[in-house]
Amino acid sequence: MNFEEEANFVREMAIENNKFFGECLPMIASENILSPMCQEMLITDFHGRYAEGTPGQRYYQGCKYFDEVEKKGIELARKLFDAKYADIRPTSGTVANMAVFKALTKPGDKVTVLDTADGAHISFGKWGAAGLRGVELHTYPFDDERMNIDIDGAAKVIREVEPKVALFGQSVFLFPTPLKELAEVAHEVGAMVFYDAAHVLGLIAGGKFQQPLKEGADVMTGSTHKTLPGPQGGMILANKTREEEKYVRQLDWGVFPGVTSSYHLHHVAAKAIAFAEHLAFGKEYAEQIVRNAKKLAEELYNMGFDVLGANHGFTESHQILFKVGEKKGGWAAEELEKAGIIANMNMVPGDEHPLYPSGIRLGVQELTRLGMKEAEMEEVAKFFKRVLVDGEDSGNVRKDVVKFKSNYRHIHYCFHEGEDPYAFHELIK
C-alpha cells in the first residue's frame, strides 16, 4: 500500500471541502469562518506545545511566550464581556460545561434544566455532561408558542426542587431567557445560576442579546466559534474574582485538572485575536446578524413557511426555526444540501425523536460575515422557496446558488478584511 497516496487522499478531501463550502450557503447555526489572523495562529508552533496550569505556574518549561498570549487573551475576554473572571482554556463549549458541573456539583445533586427536546444542548441531558457528572435533572416547562421557558412554571419547579444549580441557555435559541426573574427565584433557594451562552456569545458581547452576568448568572460558559467568530473552543466567565468567591476558585480546578490537560495553545492564541477583533467590530457585526435573521425569517414566512416565533418577531438571535412537515426535517436538509444550502434538521415542539424531526434550523452569522445584508436575505429566501415549496430540481437551484455565492467570498468584521476565507486550497496545491 502506498501510504503517501493515503495521505494525499486526506489532503484532497480537505481541498474539496474548502471548495464545497466556498460555493455553498453555509447556514448551520453553530458554525462560522475564521479571520486571516485567527487562521494564522492555527499553523504556528503553538499547535504542538503543552502548557498545563496557568501563566507563571506551569508543569512544563518553554511557556514564556505562550504565557503572555494567555494573559492577553484573558485581559481581552474580561474587557469584551465586562467580567471580572475569564478562563479561556476549555477546548469546547461542552468541555466548559463539564468543568462547571465538576466545580459546582457533586454526583446526586439536583439541577434544573431545559429539556433537550425543547431546545437545550445535549450537554444538559443525561447522555451528556450532566449525566457524566451524575446529577439529578429536573426540567422546566416550555412555552411552545413563545418558544421560551415558561416563567411561572419554571419558578415553581425551582422552588419545589431547590436545586444546587439552576441552568439556563439553549441550542435552539430564538429569544432571550427570562433570566432576571428566574435567577432571583434560584438565589432565593440557594441555587447557583449557570448560563450556557454557546450560541449567542458573540451577540452578548456585541450588546444585541441579554447580558446574563448582569441579570443574575453566577457563571456563564460559551463557545468561541459561533456568533463569536473565533476558533473552535470554549470559555468560562464570571462577575466575581477568585478572592471574592470560593466557587470561582473551584472553576479553575474544574478546568484543570478537572477536564483538561494541555488545552490546544494555537486555539487559545486564535481566541485572543478573535476577542480583539470582536472588540473592534463586534457591535456592528452583532447588529447586522440580528437584522439579517429577522429579515430572512420574515421573507420565509411571507413565502408560506411555518416559521416559529412569528407572533413575537420571529427571532432576536442569529437563529431561525421553521417546520417543514411531520418527520420531514431530514428530507428537507438533504434537498437543501443538493441545492448548495447547508442547514440542519431540528426538532420542533411536538417532535419526539431527534432523528425524525419536523423542522429546519438556520443561522445567518456566516453569511453576515461574508458581507450579506437584508437585500441578500431576500434572495436567500427565494432559494428556499424554489427547493422546498416549488419543488424545483435541486441541481438547477444549485447552479444559481453557486453564481450568487461567487459575489460573497470576502470576509468582513475583522482585521485584514477582504480575504477569501475558503481559499486555503489555493495555497496548498
For the domain that residue 115 is a member of, what is the CATH number? 3.40.640.10
143 within some domain: yes
- Whether the pLDDT of residue 394 is over 90: the answer is yes
- Contact (CB, 8 A) for 273 and 230: yes
Residues 258 and 321 in one domain: no
- Whether the pLDDT of residue 94 is over 90: the answer is yes
Using the Cα atoms of residue 272, residue 273, residue 279 and residue 281 in order, give the sign of their dihedral: negative
Residues 265 and 286 in one domain: no
Going through 45-128 in order, the beta strands assigned E by DSSP cover: 53-54, 57-58, 85-87, 110-113
Residues 256 and 172 in one domain: yes
305 within some domain: yes
The 10s digit of each residue's pLDDT in 344-373 is 999 998 888 889 999 999 999 999 999 999
pLDDT band at 1 (very low <50, low <70, confident <90, very high): low
21 within some domain: no
- Whether the pLDDT of residue 425 is over 60: the answer is no
8 within some domain: no
Please tell me the predicted confidence (pLDDT) of residue 119: 78
Residues 102 and 136 in one domain: yes
Residues 270 and 247 in one domain: yes
Residues 127 and 269 in one domain: yes
- Contact (CB, 8 A) for 51 and 66: yes
- Whether the pLDDT of residue 219 is over 80: the answer is yes
- Whether the pLDDT of residue 424 is over 70: the answer is no
The C-alpha cell that represents 96 in the structure block:
466548559
Residues 329 and 243 in one domain: no
What whole-number distance in Å separates Cα of residue 160 and Cα of residue 324? 38
Strand pairing of 359-363 and 341-342? unpaired
Domain end, chosen from 260, 275, 290, is at: 275
Give kind and range of the element (H or E) at residue 179.
helix 179-188
Domain range for 116 is: 39-275
The 10s digit of each residue's pLDDT in 274-287 is 999 999 999 999 99
Domain end, chosen from 222, 243, 275, is at: 275
What's the CATH number where 413 sits? 3.90.1150.10
Q: Across-strand partners of 229?
A: 225
121 within some domain: yes
For residue 67, give the amino acid letter.
Answer: D
Share of the chain above pLDDT 90, in %: 89
Domain count, the chain: 2
Q: Residue 229, preceding bond cis, omega within 30 degrees?
A: no
Q: What values do phi and psi take at 180, rounded to 5?
A: -60, -45
What whole-number distance in Å separates Cα of residue 141 and Cα of residue 160? 13
Q: Span 380-392, mean pLDDT?
A: 97
Strand pairing of 192-196 and 341-342? unpaired
What whole-number distance in Å separates Cα of residue 155 and Cα of residue 179? 11
Residues 96 and 166 in one domain: yes
Helix spans in 49-92 (H): 64-81
Mean pLDDT of the chain: 94
Instruction: Give the three-state DSSP class for 225.
Output: strand
402 within some domain: yes
95 within some domain: yes
For residue 284, give the amino acid letter.
Answer: E
Residues 271 and 247 in one domain: yes
For the chain, first and last CA: distance in Å?
A: 23
23 within some domain: no
Residues 300 and 240 in one domain: no
- Whether the pLDDT of residue 263 is over 70: the answer is yes
Please tell me the predicted confidence (pLDDT) of residue 423: 83
Strand pairing of 219-225 and 142-143? unpaired
Domain end, chosen from 275, 303, 322, is at: 275
Q: Span 194-221, mean pLDDT?
A: 97
Half-sphere exposure of 398 (CA within 13 A, CB side): 16
Please tell me the predicted confidence (pLDDT) of residue 128: 75
Residues 178 and 102 in one domain: yes
Residues 300 and 264 in one domain: no
Give kind and range of the element (H or E) at residue 25.
strand 25-26
